[in-house]
Structure 1
Amino acid sequence: MNASLNPIEQSFDLAAMRCADLTPLVYQRLFREHPEAQAMFRSQGSEPVKGSMLALTIDAIVDFAGTRSGHFRLIACEAASHDAYGTSRELFIAFFAVIRDTLRDLLGGEWSPDIAQAWDNLLVEIDAFVGGPA
């Protein structure tokens, strides 16, 4: 593993060694913790949408936690877009915590205090970045 990775990148890198596709794990958790989110997806044919949405979110998270070269702006754009869809800001932000919690469970003992602290800080920064509840 590349030692220059920040803890957020590290968490995704470690997860990639354990799981080829986080999509089912993330959405199972999302729907379990926020059942209202399931109605936002078609019952059939939404798997590619979920995968794409998660991949774009991960790219934005990694950029937000790192160089902020541009992909991170997707977070603010999608917050506004989801507002238009009727998604509460709380649910929008909760998706990031669901990703974190999925990674934490997947990594088990490799979920270090540095990774935990980085994720806690990231979630606070994302909340502030999108302005909290709309």
Structure 2
Amino acid sequence: MHASPNPIEKSFELAASRCTDLTPLVYQRLFKEHPETQAMFRSQGSGLVMGSMLALTIEAILDFAGQRRGHFRLITCEIASHDGYGTPRELFIAFFAVIRDTLRDLLGDEWSTEIAQAWDTLLVDIDALTGATG
């Protein structure tokens, strides 16, 4: 594994060295901070849906924070899809913060100022992309 100069990518690389599957950690946090989201997932097969949703979200985050080759457009596509499900935009955006907070807790002392600032900027940029506020 190479060390990435991109702080967002670096945060995921460091997390991968500590945890083989972020899915349970991310969704435990999501359900704790936003209990209303638990009802949005059916009981049968939801683990696969959650894992797939997280994987696609991470791919979009990495592209959005990096070279923007097109995968990040999934974010705007999914905002429309989630609108159709009745998911509030603020809740959709909260998922990105939940991922950040999960990584921050997992990284502990390796969560640097540079990584924190990159994530803060990323969340503001995603908010602007989706039109969640303003």
Q: Which band: TM-score by shorter chain?
A: over 0.9
Q: TM-score if structure 2 supplies the norm length? A: 0.97
Q: In 2, are the aligned partners of 1:88 and 1:133 still within 8 Å (CA)?
A: no
* TM superposition shift of 1:43: 1.7
Instruction: State yes or no: 1:31 paired with 2:34.
Output: no
Distance 1:49 1:133 in 2: 27
1:66-114 deviation digits (Å, cap 9, x = unpaired) = 0000000000000111001000000000000000000000000000000
- Paired residue for 1:19? 19
Q: In 2, are the aligned partners of 1:93 and 1:127 still within 8 Å (CA)?
A: yes
Q: What amino acid sits opposite 2:65 in the alignment?
A: A
- Paired residue for 2:40? 40
Report the 3-state secondary structure (helix = DSSP H, G, I; strand = E; otherwise coil) of the residue aligned with 2:24: helix
Q: What amino acid sits opposite 2:103 in the alignment?
A: L
The CA RMSD over aligned residues, in Å, is: 1.2
Q: In 2, are the aligned partners of 1:79 and 1:130 still within 8 Å (CA)?
A: yes
Instruction: State yes or no: 1:74 paired with 2:74.
Output: yes
Q: In 2, are the aligned partners of 1:9 and 1:62 still within 8 Å (CA)?
A: yes
Could you tell which deviates more after superposition, 2-11 or 72-81?
A: 2-11
Matched residue count: 134
Query: Percent of aligned pairs with the same residue?
Result: 78
Could you tell which deviates more after superposition, 36-45 or 49-58?
A: 36-45
* TM superposition shift of 1:23: 0.1
- Paired residue for 1:83? 83
Distance 1:45 1:66 in 2: 32
